[in-house]
Amino acid sequence: MTRRLIERAVIAASWLAALLLFALFATMLAFLAVHAAPALDGDLLFGDADPWRAMIGEEMVWDGLWPALVGSTLLTLVALAIALPLGVAAGIAQAEFDSPALRASRAMTDLLSGMPSIVLGLSGFMLIVLLRGVWPDANVSLLLAACCIALLILPYPTVATRQALLRLPATLRLACDALGMSRMQAIFHVYLPECRQGIGAGAVLACGRALEDVAVILLTGAVASFGVPRSVFDPFEALPFFIMVTASEYRDEQQLARAFAAALLLLGLSALLFTLARRLQGKSVR
Partner 1 sequence: MRTRLSGALLLAAAQVSTLWVVLTLLLFAWLGRPLWQDPAALASLAGFSWNPAAGQYGLGAMFAGTLLLSSGALALAFPLGLLCVLFVLALGPRVLAQLLRQVLTLMAGVPTVVYAFVAVWLLVPWLRDSAGVGMGFSWLAASLTLGLMLVPTVALPLIGVLAPADASLAPVCDALGISRAQRLLWVTLPAHRPLMLSVLLVAAGRAAGDTLIALMLSGNAPWLPHSPADPLRVLSAHIALSLATDTESTAYAAVYASSLLLLAWVSLSHLLSRRLVR
Partner 2 sequence: MNKHRIAAAFAGLVTLFAATHAGAADIDAFKGLSGKLDVAGGTAHIPVVQDVARHVAKANPNVRISVSGGGSGVGIQKVGAGLVDIGSTGRAPSAEEVAKYNLKPFQFALDGVAVAVHPANPVKNLSRVQLADIFSGRVDNWKTFGGADQRIHLYSRDEASATREVFVDKVLGKGQSPAANATVVASNGAIKTAIARDKGAIGYLGLGYVDASVKPVAIDGHAPSQENAKSGAYPIVRGLYFNTRGEPNALASAFYRYLKTGEGQSLIRAHGYIPAF
Which residues from 46-75 bind partner 1, rule CB under 8 A? Answer: none
**CA 244, 249, 253 angle in degrees (round to 5)?**
100
On whether the CB atoms of residues 235 and 229 are closer than 8 A, the answer is: yes
The nearest distance, CB 42 to partner 2, in angstroms, is 20
186 binds partner 1 (CB under 8 A): no
Out of 253, 271, 272, 278, the residue judged to bind partner 2 by CB under 8 A: 253
Instruction: For residue 176, give Cα distances in angstroms to 162, 163, 170, 207, 286.
Output: 19, 19, 10, 33, 20
> Per CB under 8 A, which region of 9-17, 38-46, 49-57, 228-236 contacts partner 1?
9-17
81: helix, coil or strand?
Answer: helix
The nearest distance, CB 93 to partner 1, in angstroms, is 4
Looking at beta carbons only, is 60 or 187 nearer to partner 1?
Answer: 187
Footprint of partner 1 on 231-250 (CB under 8 A)? 239-240, 243-244, 247
Looking at beta carbons only, is 73 or 139 nearer to partner 2?
Answer: 139
77 binds partner 1 (CB under 8 A): no
DSSP code per residue over 137-175: T----HHHHHHHHHHHHTHHHHHHHHHHHHTS-HHHHHH
The nearest distance, CB 132 to partner 2, in angstroms, is 6
Sign of the C-alpha dihedral computed for residues 193, 153, 124 and 107 taken in this order: negative
Q: Which does 57 bind (CB under 5 to 8 A by kind): partner 2, partner 1, none?
A: none
249 binds partner 2 (CB under 8 A): yes
On whether the CB atoms of residues 168 and 197 are closer than 8 A, the answer is: no
On whether the CB atoms of residues 151 and 112 are closer than 8 A, the answer is: yes
Q: Which does 10 bind (CB under 5 to 8 A by kind): partner 1, partner 2, none?
A: partner 1
Stretch 125-164: interaction string toward partner 1, x if CB under 8 A: -xx--x--------------------x--xx--xxx--xx
For residues 101 and 109, give the distance between their C-alpha atoms in angstroms, rounded to a whole number: 12
